[in-house]
Structure 1
Amino acid sequence: MSHHGVGPRAVMRSVAFLTAGVLAAPLLTACGEEDPAGRPAAGPDIAPAARDRIADGGTLRWAVDAVPDTFNTFQADADPTSARVADAVLPSMYRLDAAGRPQVDTDYLESAKIVEREPRQVVLYKLHQEAVWSDGREIGAADFVAQWRALSGKDSAYWTARNAGYERIEKVERGDSDLEVRVTFARPYADWKSLFSPLYPKQVTGTSDSFNDGARKKLKVTAGPFAVDEVDRKGGEVTLTRNPRWWGRQAKLSKLVLRAVPRDKRTAALAKGEVDIAEIDSSQAQRIMPAGGEARGPGGSASPRGSAAPTGSPDARGAARGLSGPLARSGGTLAQGPGTALTPAQALRSWAIAHGSDEKAAGKETLARKKRRAELAAYRAQQSALRGFEVRRSLEPAYTQLALNGADGPLADERVRRAVARALDRAELAGLVLKPLGLPADPVGSHLALSGQAAYADSSGALGGQDTDEARALLADAGWEEGGPLREPGKAAGAEGEKSEKSEKKSGTKPDGEADEKAEKKTGDGAAKKAEDEDTYVVGDDNKPYATDDDSPLARDGRQNAPGAYAPRGTRAPADAARAPLAKNGKPLSLRFVLPSGPGTESLRTVGERIAVMLERVGIRTEISKVADDSYFKDHIANGQYDLALYSWPTSAFPATDARPIYAKPVPAADGSLSVEQNYTRVGTNQVDQLFEQAISTLDESETRSLIRKADARIWAAAGSIPLYQRPQLYAVRPQLANVGAFGFQTPVYEDMGFLKKGATALQSPAGT
Structure 2
Amino acid sequence: MSHDGLGVRAVMRSVAFLTAGALAVPLLSACGEDDPAGKPVAGQDIAPADRSLLKDGGTLRWAVDAVPETFNTFQADADQATTRIAGAVLPSMYRLDSSGRPQLNPDYLESAKVVEREPRQVVLYKLNQQAVWSDGREIGAADFAAQWRALSGKDSAYWTARNAGYERIAKIERGANDLEVRVTFSRAYADWKSLFSPLYPKQVMGTPDSFNDGARKRLKVTAGPFALKEIDREDGEVTLTRNPRWWGRPAKLSALVLRAVPRDERTKALAENKVDVAEIDAAQSQRIMLASDDTRGDRGAKGMSGPLAQGGPYAHGPGLPPAKSLRSWAIAHGSDEKAADKENSAREKRRDAIAEYTAEQSALRDFAVRRSLEPAFTQLALNGSDGPLSDERVRRAIARALDREELAALVLKPLGLPAVPVGSHLALAGQAAYADNSGALGGKDPKEARALLADAGWEQGPPLKEGKKAAGSEGEKGEKGEKGEKGEKGEKSEDKGGSSASSRSRSSEDDGTYIVGDDNKPYETDEDRANLAQDGKQFAPGGAPGAYAPQGTPAPAGAARGPLTKNGKTLTLRFVLPSGPGTESLRTVGRRIAVMLDRIGIRTEISKVADASYFKDHIANGQYDLALYSWPTSAYPATDARPIYAKPVPAADGSLSVEQNYTRVGTDQVDQLFDEAIATLDESKTRSLIRKADARIWAAAGSIPLYQRPQLVAARKNLANVGAFGFQTPVYEDMGFLKKGAKTSASPASRE
Query: What TM bracket, shorter-length normalisation?
Result: 0.7 to 0.9
CA distance in 1, matches of 2:314, 2:145: 62
CA distance in 2, matches of 1:133, 1:8: 27
Matched, 1:303 2:285: no
The AA in structure 2 aligned to 1:352 is A
Matched, 1:599 2:565: no
Of 713-722 and 628-637, more deviation after overlay is shown by 628-637
- Deviation of 1:29 (Å): 8.2
Q: Secondary structure at the residue paired with 2:330?
A: helix
Q: Secondary structure at the residue paired with 1:762?
A: coil
- Deviation of 1:31 (Å): 8.1
- Kindly indicate whether the alpha-carbon contact (under 8 Å) linking 2:493 and 2:579 is maintained by their aligned counterparts in 1: no
Of 469-478 and 100-109, more deviation after overlay is shown by 469-478
The AA in structure 1 aligned to 2:324 is Q
Match of 1:514 in 2: none
Q: Secondary structure at the residue paired with 1:576?
A: coil
Match of 1:361 in 2: 339
- Deviation of 1:590 (Å): 1.3
The AA in structure 2 aligned to 1:234 is E
Matched, 1:576 2:556: yes
The AA in structure 1 aligned to 2:330 is A
Q: How does 1:134-149 map to 2 (within 5 A)?
A: 134-149=134-149
Matched, 1:684 2:666: yes
* Residue-by-residue CA offset, 1:614-669 (whole Å, 9 max, x unaligned): 11111111111222222221121111111111111110000000000000011111
Assess, with a 3 A threshold, how the Cα gap between structure 1 residues 102 and 555 changes in structure 2: closer, same or farther: closer
- Kindly indicate whether the alpha-carbon contact (under 8 Å) linking 2:43 and 2:747 is maintained by their aligned counterparts in 1: no
Q: How much is the aligned-residue C-alpha RMSD, in angstroms?
A: 2.6
Match of 2:461 in 1: 483
The AA in structure 2 aligned to 1:77 is D
Match of 1:540 in 2: 506
- Deviation of 1:287 (Å): 2.0
Selected match of 1:750 from 714, 726, 732: 732
Selected match of 2:604 from 611, 615, 622: 622
- Kindly indicate whether the alpha-carbon contact (under 8 Å) linking 1:11 and 1:73 is maintained by their aligned counterparts in 2: no
- Kindly indicate whether the alpha-carbon contact (under 8 Å) linking 1:11 and 1:80 is maintained by their aligned counterparts in 2: no
Matched, 1:346 2:324: yes
- Deviation of 1:486 (Å): 10
CA distance in 2, matches of 1:355, 1:631: 50
- Kindly indicate whether the alpha-carbon contact (under 8 Å) linking 1:486 and 1:588 is maintained by their aligned counterparts in 2: no
The AA in structure 1 aligned to 2:650 is P
- Deviation of 1:684 (Å): 0.8
TM-score by length of 2: 0.87
Q: Secondary structure at the residue paired with 1:46?
A: coil
Q: Secondary structure at the residue paired with 2:240?
A: strand
Q: How does 1:159-238 map to 2 (within 5 A)?
A: 159-238=159-238
* Residue-by-residue CA offset, 1:312-343 (whole Å, 9 max, x unaligned): 64754xxxxxxxx56xxxxxx6557524xx55
Match of 1:102 in 2: 102
- Deviation of 1:540 (Å): 2.0
* Residue-by-residue CA offset, 1:455-484 (whole Å, 9 max, x unaligned): 000000011101111111111111212225
- Kindly indicate whether the alpha-carbon contact (under 8 Å) linking 2:370 and 2:714 is maintained by their aligned counterparts in 1: yes
Match of 1:520 in 2: none
Assess, with a 3 A threshold, how the Cα gap between structure 1 residues 288 and 66 changes in structure 2: closer, same or farther: same
- Deviation of 1:354 (Å): 3.2
Q: How does 1:685-764 map to 2 (within 5 A)?
A: 685-764=667-746
Q: Secondary structure at the residue paired with 1:164?
A: coil
Selected match of 1:658 from 640, 655, 658: 640
* Residue-by-residue CA offset, 1:267-295 (whole Å, 9 max, x unaligned): 11111110000001122112211211537
The AA in structure 1 aligned to 2:564 is L
CA distance in 2, matches of 1:619, 1:206: 60
Q: Secondary structure at the residue paired with 2:216?
A: coil
Assess, with a 3 A threshold, how the Cα gap between structure 1 residues 274 and 679 changes in structure 2: closer, same or farther: same
Match of 2:42 in 1: 42
Assess, with a 3 A threshold, how the Cα gap between structure 1 residues 458 and 249 changes in structure 2: closer, same or farther: same
The AA in structure 1 aligned to 2:726 is G
Q: Which runs of 5+ in 1 are unaligned?
A: 2-6, 16-27, 297-301, 317-324, 327-332, 488-528
Q: Secondary structure at the residue paired with 2:217?
A: coil
Matched, 1:553 2:529: yes
The number of residues matched between the two structures is: 687
CA distance in 1, matches of 2:611, 2:92: 34
Assess, with a 3 A threshold, how the Cα gap between structure 1 residues 313 and 554 changes in structure 2: closer, same or farther: closer
Assess, with a 3 A threshold, how the Cα gap between structure 1 residues 311 and 177 changes in structure 2: closer, same or farther: closer
Assess, with a 3 A threshold, how the Cα gap between structure 1 residues 564 and 29 changes in structure 2: closer, same or farther: closer
The AA in structure 2 aligned to 1:303 is D
TM-score by length of 1: 0.85
Match of 1:417 in 2: 395
Match of 2:118 in 1: 118
The AA in structure 2 aligned to 1:364 is K
CA distance in 1, matches of 2:43, 2:295: 15
Matched, 1:459 2:437: yes
- Deviation of 1:766 (Å): 4.8
Matched, 1:670 2:660: no
- Kindly indicate whether the alpha-carbon contact (under 8 Å) linking 1:486 and 1:587 is maintained by their aligned counterparts in 2: no
Q: Secondary structure at the residue paired with 1:215?
A: helix
CA distance in 1, matches of 2:588, 2:152: 44
Match of 2:480 in 1: none
CA distance in 1, matches of 2:62, 2:421: 31
Match of 1:127 in 2: 127
- Kindly indicate whether the alpha-carbon contact (under 8 Å) linking 1:295 and 1:392 is maintained by their aligned counterparts in 2: no
CA distance in 2, matches of 1:95, 1:164: 18
Assess, with a 3 A threshold, how the Cα gap between structure 1 residues 364 and 590 changes in structure 2: closer, same or farther: farther
Match of 2:93 in 1: 93
Match of 2:354 in 1: 376
Assess, with a 3 A threshold, how the Cα gap between structure 1 residues 718 and 380 changes in structure 2: closer, same or farther: same
- Deviation of 1:380 (Å): 2.1
The AA in structure 1 aligned to 2:529 is P
The AA in structure 2 aligned to 1:395 is L
Assess, with a 3 A threshold, how the Cα gap between structure 1 residues 574 and 352 changes in structure 2: closer, same or farther: farther
Assess, with a 3 A threshold, how the Cα gap between structure 1 residues 200 and 233 changes in structure 2: closer, same or farther: same
- Kindly indicate whether the alpha-carbon contact (under 8 Å) linking 1:13 and 1:649 is maintained by their aligned counterparts in 2: no
Assess, with a 3 A threshold, how the Cα gap between structure 1 residues 720 and 116 changes in structure 2: closer, same or farther: same
Assess, with a 3 A threshold, how the Cα gap between structure 1 residues 116 and 269 changes in structure 2: closer, same or farther: same
CA distance in 2, matches of 1:467, 1:8: 33
- Kindly indicate whether the alpha-carbon contact (under 8 Å) linking 2:305 and 2:416 is maintained by their aligned counterparts in 1: no
- Deviation of 1:311 (Å): 6.1
Match of 2:412 in 1: 434
Assess, with a 3 A threshold, how the Cα gap between structure 1 residues 473 and 291 changes in structure 2: closer, same or farther: same
Assess, with a 3 A threshold, how the Cα gap between structure 1 residues 236 and 167 changes in structure 2: closer, same or farther: same
- Kindly indicate whether the alpha-carbon contact (under 8 Å) linking 2:597 and 2:603 is maintained by their aligned counterparts in 1: yes
The AA in structure 2 aligned to 1:137 is R
* Residue-by-residue CA offset, 1:722-741 (whole Å, 9 max, x unaligned): 00111111100001000101
Q: Which runs of 5+ in 2 are unaligned?
A: 2-6, 16-27, 466-488, 495-500, 510-514, 533-538
The AA in structure 2 aligned to 1:644 is L
Matched, 1:472 2:450: yes
The AA in structure 2 aligned to 1:663 is Y
- Kindly indicate whether the alpha-carbon contact (under 8 Å) linking 1:539 and 1:616 is maintained by their aligned counterparts in 2: no
* Residue-by-residue CA offset, 1:556-577 (whole Å, 9 max, x unaligned): 9784353443457xx4663226
Of 247-256 and 621-630, more deviation after overlay is shown by 621-630
